[in-house]
Amino acid sequence: MTENKSNNRTIFSCFLGAFLMLFQIGVYFVYIPWNIERLQISESELGLGLLVFGISNLISNQISGRYIVPNIGTKNSMVIGLFIVAFCPLILVSAPNYLSFLLAYIPFGIGVGLFHPSAQSQISMIESETSRILTPLYQAAFSAGSLVGAIAAAFFIKSMSDPRLIFSLLGLILTLGSIAIFRLGLLKNLEILEKTPRFKLPKNNILIFGFLLMMNYATMGIILDWSALWLTRDFLAPLFIGGIIIIVFNIGEIVSRLLASKLIKRYSERFVGGYLSVFSGIILFLCIMTSNLYVIVVGTVIFGFGTANFAAIVIRQAINITDEPIPLTVSNLVTLGFAGFIFGPALVGYLAEYLGLTFNMYLLSVIWGLNGVALLVMMKRIKYT
């Protein structure tokens, strides 16, 4: 098998896994208001569930990067992770009580922690070998999955009354996807698997990039986990259009990520990752102030477009300056990023309960705008060191 053909199969398997995982999660996001009502839980109790997800994900990221991947390879780690995730949403919508609901987030976090860093490592390794810009496209597969999932959820709500049947079928699809990745993914003997060094804290620049991802991930749930509830409660929208914010946000993200390579080559990573994040944060803030659903929808599209490539630029910048194995650097970045799920969901849930979901949307636009400013400062700092 030629190196180019092997790379293309690897890229496809990473994109396939990312799409399928977020497709299922995108469907579940729209069902969150229904599940909250079914279990009679509050926003802060939902936030605690996401906290459990964050902790299990953080532990899984480090175990994956330091022990599992060096021994079984990134492809096998991806396959195991996707297989674990396959039926987690089914467990969430079938949970008979709040405790079962919380416990279901443990395997969910573990599965995502096995899949995502491994897939990103494969993408980053190919980028390093070929100078191709692939991370934004890989993340576009996540956005596409979430978008199709949110659209599919509207169809499911209208045509299928039992969510357990829906998520059983989706679990089967993800299981078949994990088998496909096992057949198509990168062979272990073709991977660049360096010996993992003894544990030490990442260098300052990597820590700072990880912190930027942390703030991004800590607040990402505002638009993905909470926007459907925001529309159904604050705007009294029916459940089947509760996912409209997720849909238009993902449309903006997908377009931006598909254009990322051209935008980076024409303008720069500073413009794509930094300036667009600042501009789009300001736009969303102003649109929310109007309290007009249609204006907010337009602002969300712009926000999705402007912030879509922030995480990709952060990862690319970190990979460019690291002197450690790529899988370990990616694992450290993702661990720091997903640490945002440890404090973010609980804090967001608390703020939603006591200050309102609209306040959280304002907070999202401010934090992501400031993240863009911080990235610009970091890129300038690296340039002159």
DSSP states of 166-187 as a string?
HHHHHHHHHHHHHHHHHHHSPP
Give me the CATH number covering residue 243.
Answer: 1.20.1250.20
Domain membership flag for residue 379: yes
Residue range of the domain that includes 46: 3-187+203-383
- Residue pair 214/336 in contact (Cβ under 8 Å)? The answer is yes
Into how many domains does the chain fold?
A: 1
Domain membership flag for residue 310: yes
Rg of the chain in Å (alpha carbons) = 20
Between CA 344 and CA 342 the distance in angstroms is: 6
| Tens of each residue's pLDDT in the chain, 385 residues | 466 777 788 889 999 999 999 999 888 887 888 888 899 988 678 878 877 887 888 888 878 777 787 788 888 899 999 999 999 999 999 999 999 999 999 999 999 989 988 888 888 888 878 878 888 888 889 888 888 887 888 788 878 778 899 999 999 999 999 999 998 877 655 565 555 555 567 778 888 998 999 988 888 777 766 777 787 777 777 766 667 887 888 889 889 999 998 999 898 899 999 999 999 999 999 999 998 888 888 999 999 999 999 999 998 898 888 777 777 788 788 888 877 767 776 677 778 778 888 888 899 899 999 999 999 999 988 875 5
Q: Which of 135, 132, 127, 147 shows the shortest CA–CA distance to 25?
A: 147
Domain membership flag for residue 18: yes
Domain membership flag for residue 287: yes
Domain membership flag for residue 193: no
Domain membership flag for residue 251: yes
Domain membership flag for residue 326: yes
- Residue pair 381/300 in contact (Cβ under 8 Å)? The answer is no
Domain membership flag for residue 291: yes
What pLDDT sits at residue 343? 74
